[in-house]
Amino acid sequence: MGWRNFRGLPALSIAEDIPDRNWFNEVPRLLLDIRGEQAQALIPKIDKAAKSHPYAYPYTLWPGPNSNTFPAYIARAVPELGLVLPSDAVGKDFLPRGTFFVKAPSGTGYQFSVVGVFGLLIAKKEGVEINLLGLVYGIRFAPFRILLPGIG
């Protein structure tokens, strides 16, 4: 929500905290589960990416940068995660101004986006997504899913 910005603090805070707690009565969804040696190898990369996140201060609900922009940034910086974000994560497609073409968050394809307002993503894991005003329409192939705005 960017509450920290209202107090002149960065929206992003890196600290040991209680992970995966409810947010406005919404139960968190597990998107990725990596354990053991693979997790140990990824932790320093994730930490470095989190500390280099360029949007500690600007926070905008729509089209971004917002709390969904953060995991998308981490996923792009650490492609070994292979993270696929939900299609209803508004802000995941936000790219810095002047950046229009990047690797997909999963690292398995590419994405074109104009500040998260209009874009196209084609990737092995994400399938095909069309972003119009932050709403995603698309198809995922494995498992097969049709993606619709507000439904996911």
DSSP string, 20-32: T--BTTBPP----
User: Could you list the pLDDT tens digit for every one of the 152 residues in the chain?
Assistant: 567 777 787 777 777 777 677 877 888 888 899 999 999 999 999 999 999 988 877 778 888 898 899 999 999 999 999 999 999 898 999 998 889 999 999 999 999 999 899 999 999 999 999 999 989 999 999 889 999 987 76
pTM for this predicted structure: 0.86
Q: Which sign does the torsion angle of CA 84, 88, 113, 141 carry? A: positive
pLDDT of residue 122: 98
**In terms of residue numbers, what domain contains 52?**
3-147
How many domains are there within the chain? 1
- Report if residue 83 sits inside a domain: yes
**CA angle, corner 65, sides to 70 and 3, nearest 5?**
85
Alpha helices for 16-151 (secondary structure H): 36-51, 69-77
Q: Is 152 within the bounds of a domain? A: no
pLDDT score of 1: 58
48 occurs within a structural domain: yes
Other beta carbons within 10 angstroms of residue 136's beta carbon come to 25
Instruction: Look at residue 60 in the predicted model and tell me its pLDDT.
Output: 82
